Structure 1
Amino acid sequence: MTSYAGRGRTALLLAGVLGSVHAAFSLYWGVGGEWLVETLGRRLVEAFAGWEWLLVPIGLVKLVAAWLPLGAARAGWPLRPLSRGVCWLGAAVLLLWGGLNTVVGNLVLAGVIVPDGGYDRPGMVGHAFLWDPLFLAWGLALAVGLAQSRASRARVAASAG
């Protein structure tokens, strides 16, 4: 019998840690922290001015999303098609969002893409080299963990009986 520990646990644990880093910064900024806030970009900071508290529930959602897959794997994937489907959807969103924004940010910094009106360099550097690659790594770890933890119906049935 294969437990969750042997099938994707390390990757799901890594996904939890990476998601927790993202969540921790959202929570930190939500309660008034300012370290690395310039890496978000002037436009985003201005859009949240006076509404920073909204980052607290966003951070809490990220925290739940970070650890839910490992918890579900430990519990044997309750409601298996639904729980794994939601996790795969999350992995896809993280991979697409993080991957696309990492590539675009790096193309802007390299001068391949030139935005009308210029761009905020500290914000672009933050997204190209920190926040979006972190989303990408989180999504990749989650996808690897999900792929490794996949069990055939026969194996699931055998372990239940």
Structure 2
Amino acid sequence: MDRPDATGERFLLAAAVVALAHALPSLYWAFGGTLGTDSLGSWAPAWRADSPVLVGAVLVGVFVAKALGGVVPVLATRGRLPRPRVWRALSWAGAAVLVLYGAANVVVGGLALLGVVEGPTDPAARAALAGHVLLWDPLFLVWGLLLAAGLARTRRTGRDRARPVLHGT
């Protein structure tokens, strides 16, 4: 096998798209956008009002981290980064965190919204929880599942590792 599994690469590209979709709101909010901040919680606008430069810098950092989390696995699998095995190992760890974090928050938050476990009673806090349960946390989960599937499908055997990855052949 001279190149990684094409389906695996498609999974990695889909994971990168989800990562960027998750990252772009952070960049939008970093530059003053407010649409959707109610899905974060009332603390977010309050923190921005108190420390706009710090919050902007943090949000740019969040954007960069999420974007890299989407792009690095693709680049590592294609052999475009030094020490691709290290980057793939870090990507596996990231996939595990994304799946566990996303799934746990969807389940626990969903139970709270349904009243099965105690959740927030404040309407703003409930709206933020709904935003997490219905949007942000499922995106983490989907990102992690796509990333894990892509990494699994593009895993190279010991014999294959000795050969360079050739693209377009």
Q: TM-score, normalised by structure 2?
A: 0.85
For the residues of structure 2 that align with 1:26 and 1:130, how far apart are their CA atoms?
Answer: 14
Q: Tell me, what secondary structure is at the counterpart of 1:137?
A: helix
How many residues are treated as equivalent by the alignment? 158
Per the alignment, residue 147 of structure 1 pairs with 152
Cα distance in 2, alignment partners of residues 150 and 111 from structure 1 = 43
After TM superposition, the score normalised by the length of structure 1 is: 0.89
Separation (CA, whole Å) in 1 of partners of 2:46 and 2:130: 18
Cα root mean square deviation, aligned: 1.9
Distance across 1 between alignment mates of 2:45 and 2:104: 21
- 1:44 & 1:35 partners in 2: Cα distance? 12
Is 1:74–2:42 an aligned residue pair?
Answer: no
Letter in 1 for 2:34: E
Alpha-carbon shift at residue 44 of structure 1 (Å): 4.0
Shift of 1:57: 1.5
Report if the CA contact (8 A) 1:11-1:141 is conserved. yes
Contact 2:5-2:153 at 8 Å conserved across structures: no
The 3 A distance-change label for structure 1 pair 58 and 76 is closer
* Secondary structure at 2:99 match in 1: helix
The Cα of 1:74 is off from its aligned counterpart by: 1.2
| TM-superposition CA deviations, 1:34-58 (whole Å, max 9, x none) | 1111111223443454243020121
Identity rate, percent: 39
Q: Where does the alignment leave 5 or more consecutive residues of structure 2 unmatched?
A: 165-169
State the shift of 1:93 in Å.
Answer: 1.0
CA distance 1:83–1:7, change in 2 (3 Å): farther
Partner of 2:29: 29
Q: Which moved more, 1:127-136 or 1:55-64?
A: 55-64
Q: Which runs of 5+ in 1 are unaligned?
A: none
State the 4+ residue runs in structure 1 displaced beyond 4 angstroms: none
